[in-house]
Structure 1
Amino acid sequence: MASLLRKTLTSPSHLPDITLLTLHPVTRCKIKATRAMSSGSTQRMFQLKLDPLTGNSEWVVIEEDEVSSEHSQKPLLAITSYLDMLNDTCRNRVFREAIEKTVTGPCHVLDIGAGTGLLSMMAARAMGSGGSTERAGMKGMVTACESYLPMVKLMRKVLRLNGMERKINIINRRSDELQAGVDITSRADILVSEILDSELLGEGLIPTLQHAHEMLLVKNAQTVPYRATTYGQLVESTFLWKLHDLYNNEAQALDSIHLVPTGLETILHVKSQQYAMHCDAIKEEIRLLSEPFKIFEFDFWKRPDSHGETELLIKATNDGRVHAIVSWWILQLDCEGTIFYSTAPKWINLPFNTSSGDWCDHWKQCIWFIPGKGVSVSRDEGVHLHAIHTDTSISYNLKTQVPRTEVGQYPFHAGHCQLALSPERVAIYGDSKWRHSMLTAIEKALQDKVCSLCVVADDSVFLTIIIAHLSKTSHVISLFPGLRDKGAQYLQAVAGANGFSMDRVEVLGKRSLTLHDTHQKKVDMLIGEPFYCGNDSMLPWQNLRFWKERTTLDSILSKDITIMPCKGILKACAMSLPDLWNSRRCLDKIEGFDHSVVNATLGACGDLPASQASPFLPFFIWQCGEIKELSEVFTVMEFDFSKPISPCFGKAQVKFSELGMCHGFVFWIDWVMDAENSIVISTGPDIRHWKQGVKLLTKPVAVGIHGSRNMGECSLTVIDASFDPSSGELIIEHTFLQPNMESASYGTEADLG
């Protein structure tokens, strides 16, 4: 299934020979393992608990009886895309149509990456009386291959609920570990599989198909899908340009800080890869510079090559500057070419009906950034595109027919000095307004500091450089908990261009300091953005790690310590989010198969007990389809960094300012950088470089403008919040009130994230 990130990791030292499968964390990273015990084959789970406020982690063993208990009903898989994918009605429909068209009688069907078993059940049903039947002397069977143990447990529940447990053979292993005649009884006649990501290849489609055709399938096997084709389009977009070109955007800031000095243009950069993004959300900021063009074609029905290249001559349709290539794919599910699915943006007119209009988050378009300022083109000019695919990715090189100095990659290769950051972080560092705010805050903080010791608590190379640049007498210690040695090597490379020497800057890479580390000096300034490398998919309040770090360092802080930011303000807004809510709603029947047993584990919103309500999840709200603010932005609680970390509580009465259906609340943190509250860095939805925390309601609530008397509409909601510093969890309780009912409860939920 497309939501599963497959990785083989190094096992903990005390757990030899264990294959670990990991999913990206929100509040805790959950890593599951299957281990062969000396007493027999025993399944156990090892959970890696991550404390987002310290970065510390520990292994916890979850026994089999715990997995089978009510404990397993917690939304352990809410952070995956399974729920969103299973709510994609168009995807489900086209796979069902193609499977019914392909599986016309008893045969052996292999489902790789079976997930909940949906495609396996479709195949078994298509055979007639099930996946283990004989017709005219032929025997039919379905083999479902799924390597992720928690999903296998869910699949068994789904199959049992639908009376399919005896008709489908489940193998809890990776498909590339299997061999026909050994692990499965015979080679399969038909392959059904959906291991596609937004780029198409990122989940190992090519090596999976290679092994399947070599070891698991009969010659000339049929497949669903049949073929996938990638397409692209040249676009101009200032927004996309700012997500990667730090050098030219920094030059416009005119603040004498050089994160990417001349000659070192790529020392801080985004990785050369495709980035998944909902491009429909920025269609008004995109100018098309070409017609769509076909790039690669991948046939599922034959063994694919690991490497492929193509040269295209693309005709420019407008004058402009190519900042990026937007790409997508079209899936042909049947061999006749009558059933299709597409991830194309809505501005593409397709010659076939591929979508029922569903918004989905599991597949998006992809963006490939053109280096530097991009490529300048004229209408009707030919542009050469060189595309390459490997086992797992697609890359591009673009050049015009007439060579120009602005075109192509920078010649500099800094090697170990380079820092690769996310596009959003690069955009933040290139934003003139953000840089000015940070610079002003630091200048104010340094006014009374003649000879200071400053500690940068997070991974901010920007703040480290500012302090070292502005104060020639200050000593700077950067903790760089995520960047570590790479951060030190980067600073060494850019120090000269920023007017400081490394004898005043130390990178310790430690989580705590003593007076020995500070040379017996008390810390005069403790600063952060806050930014922790690798926390891009964390919830906003998990950057309160800065507060935890401040508390750990309390004994070495001076009495007149300056802390920046000095406080954080948890902000929120009630919003209409129909697309996002529908993509995560409770599952019932999917193409005739009951999936209701997976709702709690997948963190669905809908008819579930309050104890199983959907958790907080991080999203770029601006990419969440249709959105509408229904209330003014309100303050939930404040975090005072002048004091050690402690439990926090807040309460807010929120008046609705717009009519609509409220699907949930969106939360973020505003960082107050100075004691006068004059410099505030917001991470709210209006600023598109940060993710917000979203809490979807169990059921949407009709809301009306406060003061109206429309019956059935709520005009107020009361929010009660608490923050637990021991776990980093935010607990929210909300109560909707009808007009003139100041204390009448319309509905209450306890929300945890």
Structure 2
Amino acid sequence: MVVFLNANRRLVSSARSLSASRSGLALARAMSSGSAQAQRVFQLKLDPLTGNSEWVVIEEDAGGTAPEGLHQGLLATTSYLDMLNDSRRNRAFREAIDKAVARPCRVLDIGAGTGLLSMMAARAMGLGDSPTCHSNNGSVTACESYLPMVKLMRKVLRANDMARSITVLNKRSDEVRVGVDIESRADVLVSEILDSELLGEGLIPTLQHAHDMLLVENPVTVPYKAIVYGQLVESTYLWKLHDLYNNEAEILDGIHLVPAGLERIIGVKLQQHPMHCDAIRREIKLLSEPFRIFEFNFGKRPESHGETAVHVKATGSGQVNAVISWWMLQLDDEGSIHYSTAPKWITLSGAGNWCDHWKQCVWFIPGKGVPLAKDEEISLRAAHGDTSISYQLEPHQPKSTGGDHHVKGGDFCLTLSPERIAIYGDAEWRLSVLNALKTVLQRRAPSLCVIADDSIFLALLVARFSTASHIMALFPGLQDKGIHYLKAVADANGFSMDHVEFVRKKMANWTGDDTHNKAVDLLIAEPFYYGSGGMLPWQNLRFWNERTALDSLLSKDASIMPCKGLLKVCAMSLPDLWNSRRSLDKIEGFDHSVVNPTLGACGDAADGGPCLPFYVWQCGEVKELSQIFTVMEFDFSRPISPCQGKVKVKFSERGICHGLVLWIDWVMDAENSIVVSTGPDRRHWKQGVKLLSTPVAAGLQGSTNTGETSCLIVQTSFDPSNGELVIEHVPS
């Protein structure tokens, strides 16, 4: 059985437009057309236990059939369901389309998804499959490049008697040809190819091609325009997500991940980072009023590049650590229909339902930030390209050209995620790992030490504190970047690279020759694998698989760090997240119930749908309803094997339980005294969330209140053949 893991949900949604990322285009491109040939789509298949990935071809035969379960697996972890549950978005588009399509016209829907906007346009013109509905010269064409979504759209159209009224094109918009795919240029464009940054799904190239090749002059568009806003803020939390050098200076452990003189050797990618900023409102000091940055008129051909300088007056004194930005859609030309992704502290944004598909964006100001006095005016220069927006505070920052955060002179710079930088700058985390390593080194020095993961922190520690050991570092994700980094910081940390070896060979293929015919007596990891930030917590059990691959080369008394993993579970109230993943019924009058199984709706699936990775603390309203329980243990002293666990999760608080939150605590030492948790109170790791099919009323043990449940029986099983964790739960 083929298992598909969509760790990055935007990979799927990005394929909806013509100028998606290269991986998105490969994912969704139709490889052939015509009734006599099969259609096919590429999907990235990832094995979380080995790190191996490959592109596999999913074919649909000429009759339009493909295994049903296959497409369900592809779409259940995407953001489509969350988007379709956004009632504010749906209502705004319906009202605007009703106004824009008041007479028969030619409508083009780019990135059609389930066909919701197309059906809105068809209904506004009186089109439908009913005998009482006739063409009256109006037409709707739905353009969608992602084959599994096209199949789902056709089901939705049939369920709403719209299949013969809407022409569906399984193509990217830049592949559509007037006179071939559509009869003539469209009068009206409806589309929603927007990400949290606005431009990341290829809005600008899509509009450019549409205006050049597919639309009449001065077309009607829904949305009508978009405006990007920003605000200057001070926030210690945001500062710690990117400035490792200054944070590390306050930690007295003697470890220098960012030594003096190499202040920018580690940095975040110079881009906007999506985040639910309402979750950190109490940790933010607003230093300005909101200000307008860019305006994009969908009815005009946009430019690929634009710059503007915004003069911002400070409303308070502080240190500017970040620019928080959002956008507002004006969906109609009169300016009466709006939708905004603004944080809730912006009065005009109004109260809306929480959603995960659109967040605010954060642009980090380098270093400790820029000091600002009340009433002082500062210039913010903004620039946009085809797919992104960047900022500079002038004259305090050098002008940026975008891309990775490089140092002057072209010196090496290792780019990491904001969360990884914050972890490396966390004094408590560093102390735990440092103490665990010192303990094991006291027993194992000198030794042959293998570092199985991408932890530059562990590699640096072993190189410094065990100078007599031979160190073999895999860096499976960082590759050459990892060893290049160690070379750059070696002198500042007092170690020599003479006893550090970088191994490019996968551990599964190691022989005695690779270990110089010596037994490995120390195998360590955090575990952390570069690029796995969007994955489920147990997918870091790749360490266990690699430990197993090395089993024949381990000494009989080899030390393994971490020693084991503890699968933790907590019952929680998650109303916002549950509502964003709930079953669909009617959306603005259109039946969408047919999509529920395919999109993994929690209220439709008997098991609550797939377990998905989230930063739980950013999931809107959240409340713990139980204590934290250990449901299963993974013993790394032994080779990988199937595991099962069962626990009674007793409610300790009353409320509505919407799901289970699961994570792994890593036990670093044999005495079980040093544990690194990745739970919800540790903000820099994602947890796995298993939503209930139907929320239950949580009651206390012994409660006689009708309808209340005192506990949930949770059972889990881990399959080492594919890395899957099956989670089952029943009320008790």
Q: What TM-score does the superposition give when structure 1 sets the normalisation length?
A: 0.91
User: Which residue of the partner structure matches residue 534 of structure 2?
Assistant: 537
Deviation, structure 1 residue 319: 1.0
Change (3 A) 1:75 1:445: same
Unaligned runs of 5+ in 1: 9-18, 25-29, 404-408, 738-753
Over the matched positions of the two proteins, sequence identity in percent amounts to: 67
Contact 1:131 1:168 in 2 (8 A): no
User: Which residue of the partner structure matches residue 334 of structure 1?
Assistant: 332
d(CA) in 2 for partners of 1:383, 1:455: 51
| CA deviation profile, 1:572-612 (whole Å, cap 9, x unmatched) | 100000000000001110000001111111110113445xx
Matched letter for residue 640 of structure 1: D
Deviation, structure 1 residue 193: 0.5
Q: In the TM superposition, what are the counterparts of 1:65-464 in structure 2 within 5 Å?
A: 68-72=66-70, 74-130=72-128, 139-350=137-348, 357-399=352-394, 412-413=407-408, 415=410, 417-464=412-459
| CA deviation profile, 1:428-469 (whole Å, cap 9, x unmatched) | 011111111111111111112332111100001110000001
Alignment partner of 2:709: what SS?
coil
Alignment partner of 2:150: what SS?
helix
Deviation, structure 1 residue 264: 1.5
Deviation, structure 1 residue 3: 7.8
Q: In the TM superposition, what are the counterparts of 1:654-669 in structure 2 within 5 Å?
A: 654-669=649-664
Deviation, structure 1 residue 569: 0.3
d(CA) in 1 for partners of 2:307, 2:129: 41
User: Which residue of the partner structure matches residue 45 of structure 2?
Assistant: 49
User: Which residue of the partner structure matches residue 471 of structure 2?
Assistant: 476
d(CA) in 2 for partners of 1:242, 1:184: 52
| CA deviation profile, 1:378-424 (whole Å, cap 9, x unmatched) | 11111111111111000000136899xxxxx9983474732111100
d(CA) in 1 for partners of 2:160, 2:591: 6
Deviation, structure 1 residue 491: 1.5
d(CA) in 2 for partners of 1:235, 1:298: 25
d(CA) in 2 for partners of 1:77, 1:137: 33
Deviation, structure 1 residue 560: 1.9
User: Which residue of the partner structure matches residue 602 of structure 1?
Assistant: 599
Contact 1:387 1:397 in 2 (8 A): yes
Matched letter for residue 303 of structure 1: R
Larger deviation, residues 259-268 vs 341-350: 259-268
Contact 2:323 2:365 in 1 (8 A): yes
| CA deviation profile, 1:67-96 (whole Å, cap 9, x unmatched) | 544424634212211000000001000000
Contact 1:455 1:476 in 2 (8 A): yes
1:673 aligns with 2:668: yes
Alignment partner of 1:675: what SS?
coil
d(CA) in 1 for partners of 2:158, 2:135: 28
Deviation, structure 1 residue 355: 5.2
Deviation, structure 1 residue 112: 0.4
Contact 2:615 2:685 in 1 (8 A): yes
Alignment partner of 2:379: what SS?
strand
Contact 2:406 2:413 in 1 (8 A): no
Contact 1:653 1:717 in 2 (8 A): yes
Alignment partner of 1:257: what SS?
coil
d(CA) in 2 for partners of 1:295, 1:458: 42
Contact 1:263 1:412 in 2 (8 A): no
Contact 2:127 2:134 in 1 (8 A): no
Contact 1:384 1:401 in 2 (8 A): no
d(CA) in 2 for partners of 1:261, 1:575: 42
Matched letter for residue 674 of structure 2: I
Larger deviation, residues 129-138 vs 389-398: 129-138
1:6 aligns with 2:14: yes
Alignment partner of 1:697: what SS?
strand
d(CA) in 2 for partners of 1:136, 1:521: 80
1:731 aligns with 2:731: no
Alignment partner of 1:454: what SS?
strand
Deviation, structure 1 residue 523: 1.1
| CA deviation profile, 1:703-730 (whole Å, cap 9, x unmatched) | 1012222121010221121111111111
Matched letter for residue 606 of structure 1: G
Matched letter for residue 191 of structure 2: S
Deviation, structure 1 residue 173: 0.6
Q: In the TM superposition, what are the counterparts of 1:585-600 in structure 2 within 5 Å?
A: 585-600=582-597
1:556 aligns with 2:564: no
| CA deviation profile, 1:544-584 (whole Å, cap 9, x unmatched) | 00000100011111122111100000001000000000000
Change (3 A) 1:87 1:22: farther
Report how many aligned residue pairs link the two structures.
712
RMSD across aligned C-alpha pairs, in angstroms? 2.5
Alignment partner of 2:565: what SS?
strand
Contact 2:717 2:725 in 1 (8 A): yes
Change (3 A) 1:298 1:131: farther
Larger deviation, residues 599-608 vs 185-194: 599-608
d(CA) in 1 for partners of 2:385, 2:150: 30
Q: What TM-score does the superposition give when structure 2 sets the normalisation length?
A: 0.93
Contact 1:133 1:139 in 2 (8 A): no
d(CA) in 2 for partners of 1:229, 1:189: 23
Q: In the TM superposition, what are the counterparts of 1:500-515 in structure 2 within 5 Å?
A: 500-512=495-507, 513-515=510-512
Alignment partner of 1:281: what SS?
helix
Deviation, structure 1 residue 498: 1.4
Contact 1:21 1:148 in 2 (8 A): no
Alignment partner of 1:518: what SS?
coil
Matched letter for residue 494 of structure 1: V
Deviation, structure 1 residue 20: 11
Larger deviation, residues 649-658 vs 571-580: 649-658
d(CA) in 2 for partners of 1:719, 1:367: 38
Deviation, structure 1 residue 644: 0.6
Change (3 A) 1:295 1:636: same
| CA deviation profile, 1:652-681 (whole Å, cap 9, x unmatched) | 112110001110100000001011111110
User: Which residue of the partner structure matches residue 742 of structure 1?
Assistant: none
d(CA) in 1 for partners of 2:206, 2:449: 52
Alignment partner of 2:679: what SS?
coil
Contact 1:387 1:394 in 2 (8 A): yes
d(CA) in 2 for partners of 1:74, 1:110: 27
Change (3 A) 1:41 1:20: farther
1:36 aligns with 2:44: no
Change (3 A) 1:21 1:168: farther
d(CA) in 1 for partners of 2:537, 2:134: 61
Matched letter for residue 353 of structure 2: D
Contact 1:586 1:599 in 2 (8 A): yes
Larger deviation, residues 71-80 vs 107-116: 71-80
User: Which residue of the partner structure matches residue 5 of structure 2?
Assistant: none
Q: In the TM superposition, what are the counterparts of 1:734-753 in structure 2 within 5 Å?
A: 734-737=729-732
Contact 1:48 1:57 in 2 (8 A): yes
d(CA) in 2 for partners of 1:2, 1:678: 40
Contact 1:683 1:690 in 2 (8 A): yes
Unaligned runs of 5+ in 2: 1-8, 399-403
Alignment partner of 2:644: what SS?
strand
Contact 1:382 1:400 in 2 (8 A): no
d(CA) in 2 for partners of 1:85, 1:401: 39
Change (3 A) 1:219 1:63: closer
Change (3 A) 1:609 1:683: closer
Contact 2:275 2:360 in 1 (8 A): yes
Deviation, structure 1 residue 138: 6.0
